[in-house]
Structure 1
Amino acid sequence: MSISISAVHVIVDDPDAAVAFYRDVLGMSVTSEVENEGFRWVTLSPPSQPGIQLVLSHPRAGRSEQDGEAIAALLAKGELGSVNLRAGDLDAVFERAASADGVEIVQEPTDQFWGVRDIALRDPAGNLVRIEQAA
């Protein structure tokens, strides 16, 4: 049996700002956009792994009003988890992110005790994005 990752969903409150971050700062490509009932889902993929999708959606998209409000509140607090990525050149990614408008740097390149060197950023919605150096 073989299982692989198909898509990871990331909740964002401003799809345009999130697309600019993941596309322009992190170098992903927009592969599709779907609109339904006033909401938009945007799918991006890293060029090196086109089969893996990062799907951006709004807290209220496809959810009840009550659930949407609860998720929006967690998003506003930065409590929806994190996105973990890997880069071939961590320093280049860090320099690009540090020079981009509106990118919050949480942690500069650091050698971690668990054996990776990584950085931490927040996307425009406040989601934590950790990027480690590829081996």
Structure 2
Amino acid sequence: MTISLQYCQITVNDPEESLPFYRDGLGLEVRNDVSGNGFRWVTLGSGAEPAAEIVLSAPHAGRSQADGDILQELLVKGVLPIIVFRTDNLDAAFEKLVAAGAEVLQEPMEQQWGPRDCAFRDPSGNTVRITQNA
């Protein structure tokens, strides 16, 4: 048996507002863009991992009002799970995101637990870390 990641959901205030960060800053390609019932889901991926994709959607997209309200509250607080990407060139990834206007939380540095990484906040307040391959 094999198992692999296909989709990972990232909750954002507005997929359109988040596209410049994920598409232009991180260099992910838009693979699917679906609208329905007043909501939008944008799927992005990387050529480095063609089978794995992220899906950007608003808190209430496909959820009950109560669940969407709770997710919106967690998003506003900035306490949703951290998103971690990896790259083979951390400095280039950092500079590309800075040029795209991303909010820097941490410049590239060596971490005591091993990797060299940096951190940003996406337009919705999610913490996004980028780690360099060993």
Which stretches in structure 1 are left out of the alignment for 5+ residues?
none
Could you tell me which residue of structure 2 aligns to residue 109 of structure 1? 108
Could you tell me which residue of structure 1 aligns to residue 117 of structure 2? 118
Displacement after TM superposition at 1:16 (Å)? 0.9
What TM-score results when the alignment is normalised by the length of structure 1?
Answer: 0.96
- Structure 2 counterpart SS, 1:50: strand
Displacement after TM superposition at 1:134 (Å)? 1.1
| Offset from partner CA, 1:100-133 (integer Å, 9 cap, x none) | 22x1100000101111000011111111101000
Displacement after TM superposition at 1:88 (Å)? 1.1
Report if the CA contact (8 A) 2:20-2:100 is conserved: no
| Offset from partner CA, 1:14-72 (integer Å, 9 cap, x none) | 11121111000000000001111000000000121111110011100111111111110
Could you tell me which residue of structure 2 aligns to residue 128 of structure 1? 127
Equivalenced residue count is 134
Supply the distance in 2 between the matched residues of 1:27 and 1:47 (Cα, whole angstroms).
Answer: 10
Supply the distance in 1 between the matched residues of 2:6 and 2:65 (Cα, whole angstroms).
Answer: 28
What TM-score results when the alignment is normalised by the length of structure 2?
Answer: 0.96
Could you tell me which residue of structure 2 aligns to residue 29 of structure 1? 29
Could you tell me which residue of structure 2 aligns to residue 74 of structure 1? 74
- Structure 1 counterpart SS, 2:96: helix
Supply the distance in 1 between the matched residues of 2:17 and 2:46 (Cα, whole angstroms).
Answer: 18
Supply the distance in 1 between the matched residues of 2:113 and 2:60 (Cα, whole angstroms).
Answer: 36
Could you tell me which residue of structure 1 aligns to residue 18 of structure 2? 18
Which stretches in structure 2 are left out of the alignment for 5+ residues?
none
Could you tell me which residue of structure 2 aligns to residue 99 of structure 1? 99
Supply the distance in 2 between the matched residues of 1:130 and 1:19 (Cα, whole angstroms).
Answer: 17
Question: RMSD over aligned Cα, in angstroms?
Answer: 0.9
Displacement after TM superposition at 1:99 (Å)? 2.2
Query: Percent sequence identity over matched residues?
Result: 48
Supply the distance in 1 between the matched residues of 2:111 and 2:60 (Cα, whole angstroms).
Answer: 36
Question: Match of 1:117, as an amino acid?
Answer: R
